[in-house]
Structure 1
Amino acid sequence: MSAIDTLVEQHRACDARFADCETAARAQDWALALSHFQAFRREMEAHFAVEEDALFPAFEAASGSSMGPTRIMRMEHQDMRDLLEDMDEALAAQHLQAFLGLNDTLLILMQQHNMKEENVLYPMCAQALPEMAELIAEGAQP
């Protein structure tokens, strides 16, 4: 499996957990929705950490710039973190409509973000970083 495949697989795993959470929330099974949400959030944060702590700094060093696509990805990660916090609060309050509105916003942001990473940034990283697979593996270590 290539380094890009590993990162794309992480995206898909997060997408599946996200869908599980939405399904449980729509059924108003709040305990299950919260359980899925917490797992989803942990997986998202772990994925962000691989990128922000390992991949992005290496790419910035290789490209000589921290003002390019990695800057945008970090900003989008923060936007997603903010939405996750709001979603957590809506789940805790068992406020279905608020949760679903935030859920839809996050879904759109994740889809756009993942498309940029998968089609633009990851290929750029693969070209600039022969050690990309090792960076991802090391970044995934606790």
Structure 2
Amino acid sequence: MEISNYMREEHRSCDEAFAKAEQAASGGDFEEAFKHFETFMIDTLNHFAKEEEILFPAFEETTGSTEGPTQVMRYEHTQVRNLLEQLKEAIDAKDKDRFFSVADTLMILLQQHNMKEEQMLYAMCDRVMAAQAADLVEKMKER
């Protein structure tokens, strides 16, 4: 549960920053929207780096599999990165319609992505890497 709990908390923190960005954009305050979006983007990309540089390689080494869930998660991370760029462009242009169009797509993707990680991948990590979970979480906290 140690890995699941840590990573789930990071998801929630990112979700909160995204919600604040949406709220500010809704009111037309793109300066405030950018501030929260920047926090969301930095935290999300840092979360992805923790997974891609620490968690996924440890999982793949332990299970002997580089196919499957980690491959799918990496692909989805690429999709999210592309949407983050589009969202930044919409904020820079102060284009509320474009912002919410991209934000809706991003939110759907992230909800599905996070659900797969939380219900499947992190649970698998907790099971197969229980002995190294504390060390892995510590490495991710240091990243």
| TM-score interval, smaller chain | over 0.9
Q: Are 2:48 and 1:19 aligned?
A: no
Bigger CA drift: 124-133 or 71-80? 124-133
Structure 1 match to 2:112 = 112
Q: Percent identity?
A: 44
Q: TM-score when scaled to structure 2?
A: 0.96
Query: How many aligned positions are there?
Result: 142
What are the superposed Cα offsets for residues 47-98 of structure 1, whole Å, 9 maximum, x if unpaired?
A: 1111111000000011111111000000001100000001001100101100
Q: CA RMSD in A?
A: 1.1
Given that residues 46 and 140 in structure 1 are in contact (C-alpha distance below 8 angstroms), is that contact kept between their aligned partners in structure 2?
Answer: no
| Corresponding position: 1:96 with 2:109 | no
Q: What amino acid sits opposite 1:139 in the alignment?
A: M
Trace 1:15-54 onto structure 2 (pairs within 5 A): 15-54=15-54
| 8 Å CA contact retained: 1:69, 1:121 | yes
Give the corresponding residue for 2:66: 66
8 Å CA contact retained: 1:21, 1:33: yes
* Partners of 1:53 and 1:140 in 2: CA distance: 13
Q: Could you report, residue by residue, the CA deviation over 1:91-142 in whole angstroms, capped at 9, with x for unpaired residues? A: 0010110010000000000100010000000011111112123213212324
Tell me the residue number matched to 1:80. Answer: 80
User: Secondary structure at the residue paired with 2:142?
Assistant: coil
Inter-partner Cα distance in structure 2 for 1:30 and 1:18: 13
Letter in 2 for 1:134: D
Deviation at residue 8 of structure 1 after TM alignment: 0.4
The code of the aligned residue for 1:49 comes to A
User: Structure 1 regions of 5+ residues with no counterpart?
Assistant: none
Cross-structure match for 1:133? 134
Residue 55 (1) aligns with residue 51 (2): no
